[in-house]
Structures are given as structure tokens and as C-alpha cells.
């Protein structure tokens, strides 16, 4: 018997019809003998609306909050109506929705009065999206006559640290609790339906796992139950060789390793929560990305083994925009140990994240890439901290760059990959500003002017015939 954790993203449950479709899909797999845990994201756009509403509440914009709440209510009521046919089940779901929304309204009232939105209260607000969507999916599965049980992430046993907004699971306790609460149901052929994205601290305070965190919920549960696979149902056919908006001939990657997928996800493919692959990888549980609306397509399978075929050295290319390049230089840096540490320590302490780093062997300059929106703050912080000391001479910046990241395990130990890549880019007349390759050799990243980014991606896609 195959045990699969199935996670449905926001677009997969975007409307009542879609939820109905998802429920049929689950029902079919039950018929095929699958043991399943279903993990559900908030309906499309709801998390964003809740974030907006909580910020409006903090600013005291009662009317705006009210409007957003109204819209959210309508969305869920309409979805319920279209998804659930049985009147009494529908009524039950509607009533629970109503109490849930009343509670949410009270929370907003609290925020409006206090004029304060703490990370803790924000997470509490955000948990409502998944609480409501999962309720509707639960009702729809019951409508089809299936045995189901509703769980919030907290009730399912997901215990996290108290880093609200980006909480991390405490895997030992979590795994133990999930096993205790969920596993007996599977044996009785009951389908647990769990809210994605949500956990709770040891004191029972609601936390969220970070944006896109429902993927993480699915892999956490999979690891705890030693599932055979995790299926992430979404609205695309899988991970692509590149963004089809840039490269119309981009294709689905049928299979890749966890290592490669992590490189792709981190470098902006944004197909998954960045840490979601960790629990699956640890337990060697394959993760499949599938299209809810194209069941014929097998999707992308992410596995442990690094299968390297001589022909596909490069698997995927991603483009990351809205970045800036900073160059720190000075003769004082040459042969002075600790310079790099100082620079990155200052940035770290100021909560400025660095995406890419390179230093020439002359040691006379260090370049790095960060988000464009933090550029000014980064430059002034470095100038204040380092110029006076004489250690550095100058901080310069360019605010119109992007990163092209090329990923593939086959690049490792294959000579000439970089040469082909850079040759292809150069032939298009694109100038590279900075290059970095990690020693894992899974990823080569380079920086070009933002206006040249798409050209560079196309050039490489063509060169490696992806
Ligand atoms: N609803 C949350 C978000 O939009 C979590 C998720 O969709 O995975 O980030
Ligand atoms: Mg989502």
C-alpha cells in the first residue's frame, strides 16, 4: 500500500469547482488503494488579503479592514456553495466558517484598538486562511462519502520554535506527535485533512512556517509518517528548465535530485518553500510536483540519486531580478585577515541578506549581490562602519543588475561547461559583471545588467539545447 502526503496549493483550491475537482482526485486515489494525508493551502489570494488587512488594522483603517473581511467571507461562502452538495454538510461548514470569521473580526478589532501588530498576532491572523480552506475541503470530501478528520497543524502535532512568521519545526516532538495522532487513522482508512502553513509553540501559540509553508507542512508530516512520497499539487506541470515567459520553449524537468532542486528553488524558481525539501531529503522520501489541472502529466520527480546523463549537464536556468551589486575596495584589505568577516558581520547584524559573493585573488576588492531594496542601507552602513578605519577605500554600487543561475549536477567535473556558457552569453554581446561557482559545482551564477538578463538566459537555454 502506498502512503502519500498530498498537498494542494492555493490555486488548486481557488474556487468551489476546483475544490470539487480536488476532492474527486483524492477519491480516485483512495480507490486505487492509496493511504493519504491531505494538506491544504489557503484559497488563492487569501493570505495576501489577510496580511493587507492586518496592516490596515494596525493603521486603524476600520473601513478597509471591513471591506477585506467582507470579500474574504464572500469568497469562502461561494466556494462552499459550489463545492458541497449535501445540504446538512454545507450548513455545518457554513456555520463553522461563520464562527471562524467572527473570531477573525474580533482579532482585527483588537489590533485596531491597540494600534499594534506583533509578529505573534500576525501569525494568528494568517492561520485563518488555512483554517477556512481546509474546512471546505474537509466538507467536500465528506460530501463524497469519505471518512475524513479535520486537523489544524497544531492539532496534528506540529510543534515549532517561537520565531513567528518563519517558525521552524522541532522535528523530534513533532514526529512523535504526528505519528501518534495521524497514523492510527490511516490504518482505519480515514483521511486526515490538515491545514498547511500552521504550527504552534510548545506553549500552544499559533505560528506560521513562512510564506509557501504548506509545502513544509506536507514534508514534515511525510517525514513523521515515513511516507512513500509527497505530492505537491500545483497549477504548473512541474519544475521547468526555465521561466516559460522568458524562454517559450522551456520544458518540464522530469526528474532531478534534491540537491539540484534546492539550488533551483533557492535561486528564484519559487516552486516551493525553501526549506520544505529538508525533511523529505532527510528521510529519503521522493517529492513529486504535479499539476492539479493536467492529470495526464506526470510532473517533476525529486529524488535522492544524482542521475547524470552525459547529455544533460545543465538542468535549469533561473533569473533573479531586482538586485544590486556592491563593490568594496581598498589596498588596506590586501593581506588583512578578517576583512570579509567584518563586512559580512556588519551586513548580518543589520539584517541585510547577501545572495552571492566573490573576491579576486588580489584581495583588493570584494563584490556581493543583495536585494535592490536594501542597497542604500547597505552602502551607508558599510561606509559609516568601515571608511573611517582606513581598512577600505571605497564602496561603489550598481542598482540595475540581475543574477542568472545555472543548475545541474552534470556540471560537476565536466570541463568546458563554464566556457560554453560564457561563450554563448558573450556571443550575444552581454557583459558579465561577476561570476561565482560554489565548490559543489551544482550551480554557476553570474551577474549581468538587468536589461541583459533574459538575453543571457535564452543564450544558455539554446546552447545546452534544453
Ligand atoms: N497560504 C500560505 C501562503 O500563501 C502558505 C501556502 O500557501 O503554502 O504563503
Ligand atoms: Mg501558496
Taking only the tens place, the pLDDT of each residue in 380-419 is 999 999 888 888 899 999 999 999 999 998 888 888 898 9
- The C-alpha atoms of residue 430 and residue 417 are separated, in whole angstroms, by 18
Task: Name the residue of 10, 152, 166, 230 whose CB sits within 8 Å of the most ligand 1 atoms, as the mutation to test its pocket.
Answer: 10
Residue 81 confidence (pLDDT) above 90 = yes
- pLDDT value of position 400: 96
Centre of ligand 1 from the C-alpha of residue 286, in Å: 22
Ligand 1 atom nearest to CA at 41: 7
Total length of the chain? 466
Ligand 1 atom nearest to CA at 9: 7
Which grid coordinates are listed for 66?
471591513
Cα–Cα separations (whole angstroms), residue 380 to 314, 355, 388, 401: 39, 19, 12, 19
CA-nearest residue for atom 5, ligand 1, is: 212
Ligand 1 atom nearest to CA at 215: 8
Q: Ligand nearest 134 Cα, by number?
A: 1
Q: Residue by residue, what is the 3-state secondary structure of the chain?
A: CCEEEEEECCCCCCCHHHHHHHHHHHHHHHHCCCEEEEEECCCCCHHHHHHHHHHHHHCCCHHHHHHHHHHHHHHHHHHHHHHCCCHHHHHHHHHHHHHHHHHHHHHHHHHHHHCCCCHHHHHHHHHHHHHHHHHHHHHHHHHCCCCEEEECHHHHCCEECCCCCCCCECHHHHHHHHHHHHHHHHHCCCEEEEECCEEECCCCCEEECCCCCHHHHHHHHHHHHCCCEEEEEECCCCCECCCCCCCCCCCECCEEEHHHHHHHHHHHHCCCCCCCHHHHHHCCCCEEEEECCCCCCCCEEEECCCCCCCCCCCCEEEEEEEEEEEEEECHHHCCCCCHHHHHHHHHHHCCCCEEEEEECCCCCEEEEEEEHHHHHHHHHHHHHHHHCCCCCCEEEEEEEEEEEEEECHHHCCCCCHHHHHHHHHHHCCCCCCEEEECCCCCEEEEEEEHHHHHHHHHHHHHHCCC
Q: What is the pLDDT of residues 16-55, one digit of tens each?
A: 999 999 999 999 999 999 999 999 999 999 999 999 999 9
Asked: is 316-463 a CATH 3.40.50.1370 domain? The reply is no
Domains 3-235 and 316-463 share a fold: no
Residue 268 confidence class, pLDDT cut points 50, 70, 90: low
Phi/psi for 245 (5° steps) reads -70, -25
- The C-alpha atoms of residue 347 and residue 395 are separated, in whole angstroms, by 13
Mean pLDDT, residues 93-100 taken together: 98
Task: Name the residue of 167, 211, 218, 219 whose CB sits within 8 Å of the most ligand 1 atoms, as the mutation to test its pocket.
Answer: 211
Which grid coordinates are listed for 109?
478589532
Please answer whether residues 184 and 223 qualify as being in contact, where contact means their C-beta atoms are separated by less than 8 angstroms.
no
Measure the CA angle with vertex 33, ends 28 and 38; round to 5°: 65
- pLDDT value of position 111: 98
- pLDDT value of position 415: 85
Centre of ligand 1 from the C-alpha of residue 320, in Å: 21
Ligand 1 atom nearest to CA at 197: 5
Residue 310 confidence (pLDDT) above 90 = no
Mean pLDDT, residues 320-333 taken together: 92
- The C-alpha atoms of residue 402 and residue 44 are separated, in whole angstroms, by 29
Residue 121 confidence class, pLDDT cut points 50, 70, 90: very high
Protein residues near ligand 2, an ion, with CB under 5 A: 10, 41
What does pTM read for this prediction? 0.89
β partners of residue 396: 327
Centre of ligand 2 from the C-alpha of residue 121, in Å: 20
Which CATH code, of 3.40.1160.10, 3.30.460.10, 3.40.50.620, 1.10.10.10, is assigned to 3-235?
A: 3.40.1160.10
Mean pLDDT, residues 277-292 taken together: 96
Q: What is the pLDDT of residues 61-72, one digit of tens each?
A: 999 999 999 999
Which grid coordinates are listed for 414?
565536466
Centre of ligand 1 from the C-alpha of residue 280, in Å: 19
- pLDDT value of position 40: 98
Centre of ligand 1 from the C-alpha of residue 41, in Å: 6
Share of the chain above pLDDT 70, in %: 98
- pLDDT value of position 263: 86
Please answer whether residues 316 and 242 qualify as being in contact, where contact means their C-beta atoms are separated by less than 8 angstroms.
yes
Residue extents of the structural domains in the chain: 3-235, 316-463
- The C-alpha atoms of residue 178 and residue 157 are separated, in whole angstroms, by 5
Measure the CA angle with vertex 72, ends 69 and 75; round to 5°: 150
- pLDDT value of position 307: 74
- The C-alpha atoms of residue 192 and residue 141 are separated, in whole angstroms, by 11
Q: What is the pLDDT of residues 418-465, one digit of tens each?
A: 899 999 999 999 999 999 887 778 889 999 999 999 999 999 999 998
Mean pLDDT, residues 11-16 taken together: 96
Centre of ligand 2 from the C-alpha of residue 303, in Å: 23
Residue 269 confidence class, pLDDT cut points 50, 70, 90: low
Cβ-Cβ contacts under 8 Å for 435 (sequence gap 6 or more): 358, 444, 445, 446, 447
Residue 271 confidence (pLDDT) above 90 = no
Q: Ligand nearest 215 Cα, by number?
A: 1
- pLDDT value of position 270: 66
Q: Ligand nearest 11 Cα, by number?
A: 2
Q: What is the pLDDT of residues 336-380, one digit of tens each?
A: 888 899 999 999 999 899 999 998 888 888 999 999 999 999 999
Cα–Cα separations (whole angstroms), residue 103 to 93, 97, 110, 365: 15, 10, 11, 56
What does DSSP say about strands 443-449 and 394-407: parallel, antiparallel, or unpaired? Answer: antiparallel
Higher pLDDT, residue 338 or 98: 98
Which grid coordinates are listed for 434?
561577476
Going edge to edge, which strands form the sheet with 300-303? Answer: 148-151, 191-195, 35-40, 3-8, 229-234, 287-291, 300-303, 255-257
Ligand 1 atom nearest to CA at 210: 9
Give the closest residue to 348 by CA, choosing from 331, 332, 327, 370. Answer: 370
As a whole number, the mean pLDDT across the chain is 94
Ligand 1 atom nearest to CA at 10: 7
The residue whose grid cell reads 509518517 is 225
- pLDDT value of position 5: 98
Share of the chain above pLDDT 90, in %: 82
Residues having CB within 6 Å of any atom of ligand 1 = 10, 41-42, 47, 129, 196-197, 211-215
Q: What is the pLDDT of residues 171-226, one digit of tens each?
A: 999 999 999 999 999 999 999 999 999 999 999 999 999 999 999 999 999 999 99
Mean pLDDT, residues 130-154 taken together: 98
Amino acid at each position: 500500500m502506498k502512503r502519500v502526503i498530498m498537498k494542494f496549493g492555493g490555486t488548486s483550491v481557488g474556487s468551489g469547482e476546483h475544490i470539487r475537482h480536488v476532492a474527486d482526485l483524492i477519491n480516485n486515489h483512495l480507490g486505487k488503494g492509496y493511504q493519504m494525508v491531505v494538506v491544504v493551502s489557503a484559497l488563492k489570494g487569501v493570505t495576501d488579503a489577510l496580511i493587507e488587512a492586518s496592516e490596515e488594522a494596525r493603521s486603524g483603517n476600520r473601513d478597509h479592514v471591513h471591506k477585506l473581511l467582507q470579500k474574504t467571507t464572500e469568497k469562502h461562502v461561494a466556494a462552499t456553495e459550489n463545492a458541497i452538495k449535501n445540504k446538512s454538510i454545507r450548513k455545518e461548514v457554513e456555520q463553522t466558517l461563520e464562527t471562524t470569521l467572527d473570531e477573525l473580526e474580533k482579532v482585527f478589532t483588537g489590533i485596531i484598538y491597540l494600534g499594534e501588530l506583533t509578529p505573534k498576532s500576525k501569525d494568528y491572523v494568517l492561520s485563518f486562511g488555512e483554517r477556512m480552506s481546509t474546512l471546505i475541503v474537509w466538507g467536500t470530501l465528506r460530501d463524497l462519502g469519505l471518512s475524513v478528520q479535520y486537523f489544524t497543524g497544531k492539532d496534528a502535532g506540529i510543534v515549532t520554535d517561537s520565531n513567528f512568521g518563519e517558525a521552524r519545526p522541532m522535528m523530534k516532538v513533532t514526529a512523535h506527535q504526528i505519528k501518534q495522532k495521524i497514523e492510527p487513522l490511516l490504518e482505519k482508512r480515514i483521511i486526515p485533512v490538515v491545514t498547511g502553513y500552521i504550527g504552534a509553540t510548545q506553549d500552544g501559540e499559533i505560528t506560521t512556517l513562512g510564506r509557501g509553508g504548506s509545502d513544509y507542512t506536507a514534508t514534515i508530516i511525510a517525514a513523521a509518517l515515513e511516507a512513500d512520497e509527497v505530492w505537491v499539487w500545483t497549477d504548473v506541470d512541474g519544475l521547468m528548465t526555465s521561466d516559460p515567459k522568458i524562454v517559450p520553449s522551456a520544458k518540464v524537468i522530469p526528474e532531478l535530485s534534491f540537491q539540484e532542486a534546492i539550488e533551483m528553488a533557492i535561486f528564484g524558481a519559487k516552486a516551493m518553500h525553501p526549506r520544505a525539501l529538508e525533511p523529505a531529503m532527510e528521510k529519503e522520501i521522493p517529492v513529486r510536483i504535479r499539476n492539479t489541472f493536467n492529470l495526464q502529466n506526470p510532473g517533476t520527480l525529486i529524488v535522492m540519486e544524482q542521475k547524470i546523463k552525459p547529455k544533460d549537464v545543465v538542468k535549469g536556468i533561473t533569473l533573479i531580478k531586482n538586485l544590486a551589486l556592491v563593490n568594496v575596495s581598498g589596498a588596506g584589505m590586501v593581506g588583512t585577515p578578517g576583512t570579509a568577516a567584518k563586512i559580512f558581520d556588519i551586513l548580518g547584524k543589520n539584517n541585510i541578506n547577501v545572495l552571492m559573493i566573490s573576491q579576486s585573488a588580489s584581495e583588493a576588492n570584494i563584490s556581493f549581490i543583495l536585494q535592490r531594496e536594501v542597497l542604500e542601507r547597505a552602502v551607508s552602513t558599510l561606509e559609516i562602519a568601515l571608511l573611517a578605519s582606513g581598512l577600505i577605500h571605497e564602496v561603489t554600487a550598481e542598482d540595475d543588475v540581475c543574477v542568472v543561475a545555472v543548475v545541474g549536477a552534470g556540471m560537476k567535473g565536466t570541463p568546458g561547461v563554464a566556457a560554453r556558457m560564457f561563450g554563448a552569453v558573450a556571443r550575444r554581446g552581454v557583459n558579465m559583471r561577476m561570476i561565482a561557482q560554489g565548490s559543489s559545482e551544482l550551480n554557476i551564477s553570474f551577474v549581468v545588467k538587468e536589461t541583459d538578463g533574459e538575453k543571457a538566459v535564452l543564450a544558455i537555454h539554446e546552447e545546452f539545447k534544453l
